Amino acid sequence: MVSILWFVPENEVPPDVPEVVPQTPLR
């Protein structure tokens, strides 16, 4: 998971980010 933020692309919006965001607000 941390690797994704580490090699984040130029888009700055990887597919892993949206998955981690809802994880916290959900609970």
Rounded to whole angstroms, how far apart are CA atoms 16 and 18?
6
pLDDT tens digits for 9-22? 565 555 555 555 55
The full DSSP string for 1-27 is -HHHHHS--TTS--TTHHHHHHHHHH-
pLDDT at 11: 56
pLDDT at 3: 55
pLDDT at 7: 57
Domain spans of the chain?
Answer: 1-27
- Compute the C-alpha angle 19/21/24, nearest 5°: 110
pLDDT at 23: 56
Q: With contact defined as beta carbons under 8 Å apart, do 16 and 3 qualify?
A: no
pLDDT at 20: 57
